Structure 1
Amino acid sequence: MSTPADGNISRRSFFSFLLVGGGATLLQYLIMALLLWTTNLSPTVASSTGFLISAVFNYWANARYTFGGQHDHRASALRFIVTLCAGLAINALSLALLQAAGAPVWLAQLIATGIVFIWNYLINAIWTFRKRQPS
């Protein structure tokens, strides 16, 4: 038996999710650079500001383009925030464990990023942007 989330997992949605995530990352870095260039903000504040703005873009683009907008936006937005926080924790844990195992920081971060990408795609497809049940 198929579930409404099954339609969210596809080659098309995977590559769309990859493009949206890449765009969101680029947006974060551009905002950070702009803030560092034009203000006296610390790198941490500039990066965090870029991250928050890019997260809004990431939600909007994934809701509209990647997963087709056939979901309850109030529920999806809250689920997106939960997924985002869980991804942050997974990134930190993966990075710490890989470094403890002797991996160089750059390699540990690349692997952690891959783990979080797969986590985010699957959870967003199955749970965050779950399609509405027909009434």
Structure 2
Amino acid sequence: MKRLLLFAVAGGAGFLVDAGVLALLLHMTPLGPLIARIGAIAAAMLFTFWLNRTFTFGRSDRSLAAEGARYGGVGIGAALINYAVYSAIVLAFPALWPVFALAIASAIAMLWSFLGYSRFVFGPSSPSK
């Protein structure tokens, strides 16, 4: 239960980075909400990798490169789910504040992330190692 709570805290912090970068890009650049979200996702993913590796799950016995590649794979899958839901909401409801769509999409992608990170990234390595 503690791990799930720490994961939620890391996810909440990642959400703040995601939303902050999205809001900053929307305010400071001519990028629209769909393109700006890509940069926001990347920033949040790097931040949550550090948080989850340091506080939530701890380091696995894999190399940093292997762990990072696995994290990226799970994270990209979660980001695709997140982005698809976000895009569908933004396109279906153009008057809606994009950060609200971000919150809904992030909540949906959270389960995928937790299962992937806890089992595939930071879980025990295969017996053949």
TM-score, length-scaled by structure 1: 0.67
**Structure label with greater radius of gyration:** 1
Q: Choose which of 52, 56, 68 in structure 2 pairs with 1:66.
A: 56
Q: Within 1, Cα distance between the matches of 2:46 and 2:12?
A: 14
* Alignment correspondent of 1:32: 22
Q: Within 1, Cα distance between the matches of 2:20 and 2:80?
A: 24
Runs of 4+ aligned residues of structure 1 deviating over 6 Å after TM superposition are: none
* Alignment correspondent of 2:111: 118
CA deviations over 1:51-88 (Å, ceiling 9, x no partner): 11111001111011101124322111111121123324
Aligned residues: 112
Structure 1: gaps (5+ residues): 1-10, 97-105
- Distance change >3 Å, CA 12–CA 85, structure 1 → 2: same
**Deviation, structure 1 residue 89:** 4.9
Once the two structures are superposed, the pairs formed by residues 1-135 of structure 1 within 5 Å of their partners are 11-72=1-62, 73-90=64-81, 92=84, 110=104, 114=107, 116-131=109-124
TM-score, length-scaled by structure 2: 0.69
Q: Within 2, Cα distance between the matches of 1:62 and 1:75?
A: 15
Q: What do you get for the CA RMSD once the two structures are aligned? A: 2.9
Q: Percent identity?
A: 26
Q: Within 1, Cα distance between the matches of 2:8 and 2:25?
A: 26
Range with greater deviation from structure 2 (70-79 or 44-53): 70-79
C-alpha contact (below 8 Å) 2:60/2:67 kept by paired residues: no
